[in-house]
Amino acid sequence: MVIKAVFFDLYETLITEWEEGKKKAAYSTESLGLDKNIFKIEWDLRKERRMNGTFPDHQSVLSDILRSQGIKPNLEAIDHVHEERLIVKTIPFQEMDPHVLGLLRTLRTKGLKLGLISNAAAEEVHAWEMCELADYFDEVVFSYEARVAKPQKEIYQMACEKLGVTPQESVFIGDGGSDELRGATEAGMTALQAIWFLPPMISDRITGYPKLKKPQDLLEHEDIKSYTIA
């Protein structure tokens, strides 16, 4: 089967929130009036619903967390935390890795279709349209819009349909979060793990999937290396 499309994950594959072992930016939720450890537990409990669009926006998640703890939502505090999160989530889009951009340019030159499949809530990708990456992609599927998230096979199938290819004609590249590589494989795609942004303690783990140590390694993959415009 000839590969016709390459799909990428977004965070920690095309962009990264980390630099020298620390988050590039952080924000505080203390103004909500809830212990930060309790907040994190409640935030994580809502991950699937945040990713699949069950919650319409970030503010509704915060309100739901507060109500679950018997706290009346303070709309001013919620808006403040929301604005802080927007700023933090914009930062990874401001500095593009030149090797990632070089890979995307080469794939486009080869005539391959490019797609994005990202588990993301709306506030996490509000800067997408303004970033340099957006110009390279033919189709983008964000989980909150699709109403389904990785590793559910439906999101991969949806992305393939948008690009007019079959899963068997597609390669999926991701760092491996959200069990996305298994999901891609079960959907029928060839899955490869991008480890160029991952710390050694994570990248050295055996996953069972071929690892790409740097973006250009993808160009040496047999299906990509041999591809030429029909």
Question: What would the 3-class secondary structure string for 203-227 be?
Answer: HCCCCCCCEECCHHHHHHCHHHHCC
Q: Is the model's pLDDT at 213 over the cut of 70?
A: yes
| Residue 109: count of CB within 10 angstroms of its CB | 9
Query: The sheet that has 5-8: what strands, in order across it?
Result: 139-142, 113-118, 5-8, 170-174, 190-194, 211-212
Give the mean model confidence (pLDDT) for residues 188-204: 96
Report d(CA 53, CA 169) in Å as an integer. 28
Q: What is the DSSP letter of 11?
A: B
The pLDDT assigned to 230 comes to 46
At 22 the pLDDT is 94
Q: What letter represents residue 28's amino acid? A: S
Model confidence band, residue 225 (pLDDT cutoffs 50, 70, 90): confident
The letter for the amino acid at 169 is: E
What mean pLDDT is predicted for residues 69-92?
98
Torsions phi, psi of 118, nearest 5? -130, 130
CATH of domain 5-19+96-225: 3.40.50.1000
Report, as an integer, the average pLDDT of 168-176: 97
> Average pLDDT in the 43-72 region?
98
Which pLDDT value is given to residue 222?
83
Q: For the chain, give every domain's residue range.
A: 5-19+96-225, 22-91
- Residue 228 burial (CB < 10 Å; 0-12/13-18/19+)? exposed
Mean pLDDT calculated for residue range 1-19: 95
Residues linked to residue 15 through DSSP beta bridges, in sequence order: 11
Amino acid (1-letter code) at residue 165: V
pLDDT band at 223 (very low <50, low <70, confident <90, very high): confident
Query: Over 70: is that where the pLDDT of 83 sits?
Result: yes
Given a cut of 90, whether residue 228 has pLDDT beyond it is: no
Mean pLDDT of 118-146: 98
196 in Cβ contact with 212 (< 8 Å): yes
**Average pLDDT value for residue range 24-40:** 97
CA distance 121 to 118: 9
Mean pLDDT of the chain, nearest integer: 96
**What is the pLDDT at residue 227?**
63
Strands (E), the chain: 5-8, 18-19, 22-23, 113-118, 139-142, 170-174, 190-194, 211-212
The confidence band for 138, taking pLDDT boundaries of 50, 70 and 90, is: very high
pLDDT mean over 11-28? 96
Share of the chain above pLDDT 70, in %: 97
Q: What is the mean pLDDT of residues 19-43?
A: 96
| β-pair partners for 194 | 212
What pLDDT is recorded for position 206? 86
